[in-house]
Structure 1
C-alpha cells in the first residue's frame, strides 16, 4: 500500500500491519505481531523522517511466505541509505534518536537495503521468522 510521507501516514501503516498480522492468525498480543509491528513502525518512521521527498509517498509491503514475515518500506530518496554495519551498534545512551535500526537489528532475523527497481529510491526490508504454535509452546 501507498501512504503519505507524514506522521499520519506512518501511523496508518503501523495500524495496517498489526491488523493484517492478526488476520493472518498472529494475534494482537502475540510476540510475532508485536515484533513485526515494531519493525514496521521504525522503518516507516525512517521513510517519513529521512526518506521524504516533497510530493512523494512511501510504500509498505507485508508478505508471509516460507515461514517468514517480510516487511518492505520503499521511499524515493536513494541518496540516503542506512549503513547496516554502522547502525547495528548500540546507540548512545543520551542520544535523542538513532535507536531505530538498532531495534530492527535486535528484532528481525535479517534486514537490508536494496534499490527500487521501478524508480528512484530504495527499499528497506526486514524479515522475522514465524514460529508455529508447537514451537511457541516448546519455547515457553
Structure 2
C-alpha cells in the first residue's frame, strides 16, 4: 500500500524541482496514518481511472481520502486501525 501511494506521487504528482513528502503517525488508539503529499493538487486520485493500485489501497485501508492545500499541495492519506488485519 505504501509503495502504491509513493508510486502515484512520483508518477502523477511530480513537478520538476519538487519532491513529495511522506508522513507516518500512530495515535493513542493504535491507528496508523500514512500521508503522501505532492505538489499537483490539480491531479486528484481517481479509483475509476482503470488502474488497480487505488482499488488495492481502498480494499486494504480502513479509511482513505484526499486533503487539498495549501496550494499547490494535496495529501493522500490512509488509515489502518490496530488489530483490523
TM-score (norm 1): 0.55
8 A contact 1:64–1:70 mirrored in 2? yes
Take 2:69 and 2:3, find their aligned partners in 1: how far apart are those partners?
A: 20
Q: Which residue of 2 aligns with 1:74?
A: 37
Q: Which residue of 1 aligns with 2:60?
A: 107
TM-score (norm 2): 0.88
- Deviation at 1:116? 2.8
Q: Which residue of 2 aligns with 1:64?
A: 26
RMSD of aligned Cα (Å): 2.0
Larger RCO of the pair (alpha carbons < 8 Å, separation 6+): 2
8 A contact 1:110–1:127 mirrored in 2? yes
Take 1:74 and 1:116, find their aligned partners in 2: how far apart are those partners?
A: 10
Take 1:68 and 1:112, find their aligned partners in 2: how far apart are those partners?
A: 15
Q: Which residue of 2 aligns with 1:34?
A: none
Structure whose CA Rg is larger: 1
Take 2:2 and 2:13, find their aligned partners in 1: how far apart are those partners?
A: 15
Take 1:116 and 1:100, find their aligned partners in 2: how far apart are those partners?
A: 24
Q: Structure 1 or 2: larger helix share?
A: 1
Which runs of 5 or more structure 2 residues have no equivalent in the other structure?
none
State the 4+ residue runs in structure 1 displaced beyond 6 angstroms: none
The 5-angstrom pairing of residues 1-140 of structure 1 reads 39-65=1-27, 66-83=29-46, 87=47, 98-117=51-70, 119-131=71-83
Q: Structure 1 or 2: larger strand share?
A: 2
8 A contact 1:74–1:116 mirrored in 2? no
